[in-house]
Amino acid sequence: LVGSVDRTLGVMTSSRTVSNTVTNTSLNQAANEGLVTIPANGWAVGRTYIITAWGVYGTTGTPTLNIRIRIGSAVAATGALTMASSVTDGLWRADVMITCRTIGASGTVFAQGMVVYQTGAEVFSSTGSLKNTATDTIDTTTTQAIDLAAQWGTASASNTITLTNYTIEELQDPQ
């Protein structure tokens, strides 16, 4: 964004793992570390949040991994990834952009993202989208947390995803 001012709003300094469960589970809210809450009336039209997340994962079989970005209770972007079989310590990265379109009790945001992940030794041959085809309605007049969550399609002790690095940055027009 030309003329924007950016600032880092949240950083995780410890890792968080989701494994052996089919429950949608937050990756960035371990002891509120990495949790970014946008205060009531803190959204503005055009304000954009950039999420960057890195980690490692492991699998058995070819399980589905659902990644979701939630703003409050609204799912702003989601993707169902078919993961590679029998991976140990595979690297992954997610990049997401959330832009506020309108504000108010029926405010709207648009979110898009991508996940890139290793399918074998040093091979990054798979990508998945965290896509959205329309705006999502959120109440910008109330406090809203931004959450990155994971959910395995099959519970197995071998199906693990660990978030090791996480930041949320805010871009805003200084006008």
Whether pLDDT at 175 is above 70: no
pLDDT in tens, 80-105: 999 888 899 999 999 999 999 999 99
Contact 43, 103 (CB under 8 A): yes
Where are the extended beta strands (E) located within the chain? 5-11, 16-19, 25-26, 36-38, 48-58, 64-71, 74-82, 90-102, 107-117, 126-130, 136-138, 144-152, 160-172
pLDDT in tens, 17-61: 999 999 999 988 765 566 788 999 999 999 999 999 999 999 998
Q: What is the predicted pLDDT for the residue at 59?
A: 94
Q: What is the predicted pLDDT for the residue at 11?
A: 78
Q: What is the predicted pLDDT for the residue at 127?
A: 84
Q: What is the predicted pLDDT for the residue at 36?
A: 85
What's the start-to-end Cα distance of the chain, in Å?
13
pTM above 0.75, yes or no: yes
Q: What is the predicted pLDDT for the residue at 9?
A: 78
Average pLDDT, rounded, for the chain: 88
Q: Which of 60, 76, 74, 75 has its CA nearest to residue 19? A: 60
Backbone angles phi, psi at 168, to 5 degrees: -125, 130
- Alpha-carbon span 173 to 67, nearest angstrom: 29
Q: What is the predicted pLDDT for the residue at 1?
A: 44
